[in-house]
Amino acid sequence: MSTVKFYDREFSSRLLIGTALYPSPKIMQDAIRASESQIVTVSLRRESAGGRTGDAFWSLIRELDVTVLPNTAGCKTVREAVTTAKLARELFGTPWVKLEVIADNDTLQPDVVGLVEAATILIKDGFEVFPYCTDDLGVAMRLVDAGCKVVMPWAAPIGSAKGITNRDGLRLLRDRLPDITLVVDAGLGAPSHAAHALELGYDAVLLNTAIAKADDPVAMANAFRLGVEAGRTAFEAGLMDARDFASPSTPVVGTPFWHVVS
């Protein structure tokens, strides 16, 4: 399976996972290892709590030898998101940021206007932005115009586990942005959902809840790893197009027919 590029860095794993909601720190570590993910998202709000809890959590992450992608989860305004991103850069020592600007508390739908504005500000300040957005082509194109080399549209609302609800929309993004790294972020609930995203030509997927809230997070992390690998391998192998009619797999020309004579 080929590598995936995020800005100027290449990775062999196409599965990015979060670090929240796990039953215990050990299960979190074991799940991340089982996933073979090389990039994990970390909330600044959790880490910046400081003290013994924050220090212990950061030690667990360092032990995993992974790349950290700080996020601005929970931010509702451009100012809040930009400030949080700058604090994350100081704390984690990275220009990377998963940018979230939330418009609605119930659906956690991105504020796409504020997202583009915040991304523009941060990119001018030297950040490498991973914007969490809807599957709207116009929004994605504006993010690319602002300088984003990675765009992360949702499959469905965060934590919904619905899988891809707008296949045509995601396919359009892939077709129109062939040179941009596209990551399906949010709404995936099963390994088959991840495989579906990779089969569409998406470069990676990012998820958290489906693994962390499983009865066995470690086994589920491994299942998602396999789903991602299967989906990408299928895409690279070349999936056949769907048809509206039957096509026999066994040739019928020359097939013998027997007639019963009474």
| Contact present, 214 and 178 (Cβ < 8 Å) | no
User: CA dihedral defined by 198, 182, 13, 72, rounded to 10 degrees?
Assistant: -130
| Cα 207 from Cα 213, distance rounded (Å) | 11
| Contact present, 205 and 14 (Cβ < 8 Å) | yes
| Contact present, 198 and 225 (Cβ < 8 Å) | no
Active-site pick, 76, 86, 98, 124? 98
- H/E run at residue 234: helix 217-237
Active site residue 124: no
What six digits make up the tokens of 133? 């957005």
The residues carrying an active-site annotation are 98
